[in-house]
Amino acid sequence: MKWVYIEDIAKYVGEKVELRGWVYNKRSSGRVRFLLIRDGTGILQCTIFSPEKEHPLFDKFEELTQESSLIVRGKVKEDKRAPGGYELEVEDIEIIHIAKDYPITPKPHGVSFLMDHRHLWLRSVRQHAILQIRAEVIRAIRDFFDGRGFRLMDTPILTPSACEGTTTLFETKYFDEKAYLSQSGQLYNEATAMAFGKVYCFGPTFRAEKSKTRRHLLEFWMVEPEVAFATLNDIIELAEDLVVYIVSRVLDKRKKELETLNRDTKPLEKIAKPFPRITYKDAIKILKEKGFKIEFGDDFGAPEETILSNSFEKPVCVTRYPLKVKAFYMQPDPENPDLALCVDMLAPEGYGEIIGGGQRIHDYDLLLQKIKEHNLPIENYQWYLDLRKYGSVPHAGFGLGIERTVAWICKIDHIRETIPFPRMLYRMYP
């Protein structure tokens, strides 16, 4: 008998097939038994009928508990009464393993309990939908860059010092030396961009900030393109194209999952080019009009970002922040040397920053001066300065946070559900 997956079940109506999976739930009513089986691709209702009170399959049904693993064989039928429209008329049950006292029931649980059981929580319908969308987002990102001739360049996780010199890093040992877990692949990608023209890296990044909010993880995934000869405007366009591509791909391929999450897709359907662009100065004006006590030169806090994000239907690109609130490598605006040629993209519906990027300094002397001003150890940046010594060109790039993007697309309120095993302040188990 053919082993099939539930996501393909419609193709087998009228045929006898085999399913391999786990018991999601079971119900009974008199001489009818309902077994909800999940196999990782979906959930299917399996039915057992008997005109007699006793039946060998009833005995096996009784034995089964939530999350017990099994193989069922039977005939696929179309039936409007079944959730999903299809069901399996069971002819044979082969029990593989009986699960005893599965802790997560089909009833509500608290966050703390669910996080302690994250390894099992992943089996639930909602987590399944979110992580399917995450996988789709990642696939879309790779297709987008690969399709545009970008070269994948994996950057190191173990680094000798801070990339940006701003956030706190996780420290580890490198034999007798100290090493730090990477917080960005950008600096290395400036080197690979000079070798390959347009590149991207995609990997985990680490921030040892003691952030305890719904939009922070200590370990998260980021995609970072870097393009030689590109200016600020070039990468804003690239960022727009990328976000439009990701959203339309999820709308196209993961409609069912969005529905599972009760995600209203109308706001997502509006995501098209061009996105609104405002300068930092405009943003300050908007915030002041809304009654915020904020002055030119201040960076935005979470409430400010939420207000800006809610002010537009599409992601908004905020450009030209004051240099002093940004990283040392930011290229100054030729029209106003106090401003940086940078961009932050804020996702709508209150989600806030999903992209940060900009044009990098390509002048050797200016970069050297900034490294000194920021008290960074020059010996660690010799190679980075070299890039400005041998055929330096203007270049730009950005980083997009995967988890924040997934949280926005799914419209879920906490980032911890967008990665299989979140690493958070005071929580490293499981």
Partner RNA sequence: UCCCCGGUAGCUCAAUCGGCAGAGCGGGUGGCUGUUAACCACUAGGUUGCAGGUUCGAGUCCUGCCCGGGGAGCCA
Q: Closest approach of Cβ 368 to RNA, in Å?
A: 22
Report CA torsion sign: 171, 195, 231, 405.
negative
Report d(CA 45, CA 85) in Å as an integer: 9
Residues in 200-239 that interact with RNA by CB under 7 A: 207, 209-218, 220, 222
| Residue numbers 369-408 binding RNA by CB under 7 A | 399-401, 403-404
DSSP 365: H
Q: Which is nearer to RNA, 390 or 422 (CB)?
A: 422
| Choice from 49, 174, 296, 383 touching RNA (CB under 7 A) | 49
**Interaction residues for RNA, span 266-295 (CB under 7 A):** none
- Site residues for RNA, 302-361, by CB under 7 A, read 302-303, 305, 325, 344, 352-356
Segment near RNA (CB under 7 A); pick from 100-108, 190-198, 249-257, 308-316: 100-108
| 156 touches RNA by CB under 7 A | no
Q: Which amino acid is at 76?
A: V
34 part of the interface to RNA, by CB under 7 A = yes
- What backbone phi and psi angles, to 5 degrees, belong to 94? -115, 110
Helix (H, G, I), strand (E, B) or coil at 229: coil
Nearer to RNA, 186 or 192 (CB): 186
Q: How far is the CB of 327 from RNA (least distance, A)?
A: 7
Residues 159-178 that bind RNA (CB under 7 A): 164, 166-167
State in angstroms the smallest separation of the CB of 299 from RNA.
Answer: 5
Tokens of residue 97, six digits: 């393993």
Q: Does 106 bind RNA (CB under 7 A)?
A: yes
CA distances from 225 to 25, 82, 156, 373 (A): 45, 46, 15, 27
Binding mask 113-152 for RNA (x = CB under 7 A): x-x-------------------------------------
Contact 279, 232 (CB under 8 A): no
The nearest distance, CB 61 to RNA, in angstroms, is 10
Q: How far apart are CA 281 and CA 84, in angstroms?
A: 52
Question: How many angstroms separate the first and last alpha carbons of the chain?
Answer: 38
- Least spacing, CB of residue 402 vs RNA, in Å: 8
Position 112 contacts RNA (CB under 7 A): yes
Residue 225 and residue 186 in contact, taking contact as beta carbons nearer than 8 Å: no
Least distance (Å) between residue 317 CB and RNA: 12
The binder of RNA chosen from 2, 107, 173, 266 (CB under 7 A): 107
Calculate the alpha carbon distances from 248 to 94, 139, 259, 265, 282 in Å.
42, 13, 15, 11, 29
Q: Which of 79, 94, 154, 171 binds RNA (CB under 7 A)?
A: 79
Report the site for RNA in 291-310 (rule: CB under 7 A): 299, 301-303, 305
Contact 276, 312 (CB under 8 A): yes
Contact at 8 Å (CB) between 33 and 63? no
Part of the chain binding RNA (CB under 7 A), chosen from 107-115, 130-138, 149-157, 249-257 = 107-115
